[in-house]
Every structure is written in C-alpha cells, then in structure tokens.
Amino acid sequence: MKCPFCKGHDTQVVDTRESEAGDSIRRRRRCVSCDKRFTTYEMVELRMPQVVKQNGIRCEFDSGKLRTSFTRALHKRPVSTEMVDAAIDTVTHKLYALGEREVDSRHVGELVMQALLKLDKVAYIRFASVYKSFQDVGDFADAVKAVRRTPSRAGDKPENG
C-alpha cells in the first residue's frame, strides 16, 4: 500500500478490525519512510460480467433488460411478483457466481429459459419462440412436446402427451 503522504511503498499494518456488519475490514497503517499513520478499508467488490452479444459487441449487464424479458414472457400469466423477483435474483446470482469478466448473451438467455421453465410453461414457450427464432409451427410443436415432459413448479408432474 502506498503512503498517501510521502508516496512511499513500504507500510506496516498496525491494527486490523472487521466492521460490525462484517462486510469490510479496517486497517490502520504506518509508513516506514515518514512514520505517519493512515487508515485503509478493504471490502468485496462485486461486478456483473459484461455481456458479449452475438455480433461481438460488449455491453454492461442491465438488470432492467432481464426484468423486461421476464415481464414480456409472463404477461397475463398467474405468476406472482415475488416469484419473478426470486427468478431474477437466481439468474443474477448465477452470473455473479461464474466469476467471469464477460459472459455470452446466449448463456444469459439459457439461464432465463431455465428460470421460466420452472415458473410457467406458457411463458417459457413465449420466450423460447423469440429467443430460438421459431420459424414454423413445427418448432412450436417440438418445444411443447419437450415442455410437457418437464415439471414446471415443485409438486407438478410431467404431462402425458
């Protein structure tokens, strides 16, 4: 750590304390060169990875876009706001957990599809039709067959179809 007074690079930690909330560490330091004391704080910095689109353009992760995707897919569906918030939190947490600086937009889309499949099958089909660029009725039929074999919520059983 560089001394803010003399710009010396040799400092010693005199005292270390954790904050009451446990989310940061306060360190009292002494500069070996000028003998002045100063305080530094250490805390976790969480950053969402940048999203790399199909055309190679990189952009900041936008949770508003994520919410819009869920809202459009779930339009007029019987899914509570709390469940949507929990699904968005799950997707966001999975992106944080990757620990990557960049993530492909396809991966974000797959995470959204996984969450929608658990929330509501109709919403999943709506999202998948745009996300996977369905071209004809056969694409919808294939998706519906796949969804019928998958339970959506806890306790649901796969449909026979």
Q: What confidence tens digit (pLDDT) does each residue in 88-122 have?
A: 999 999 998 888 899 999 999 999 999 998 998 88
SS3 140: helix
Contact present, 29 and 39 (Cβ < 8 Å): yes
Mean of the pLDDT values across residues 1-11?
A: 93
Mean of the pLDDT values across residues 128-147?
A: 75
Cβ within 8 Å of residue 32, ≥6 positions away? 8, 10, 11, 12
Mean of the pLDDT values across residues 75-81?
A: 91
Q: At residue 147, does pLDDT exceed 60?
A: yes
Q: At residue 123, does pLDDT exceed 70?
A: yes
Confidence grade of residue 153 (pLDDT, cut at 50, 70, 90): low
Dump pLDDT digits (tens) for 13-63. Answer: 999 999 888 888 999 999 999 999 999 999 877 788 999 998 999 999 998
H helix count then E strand count, the chain: 5, 6
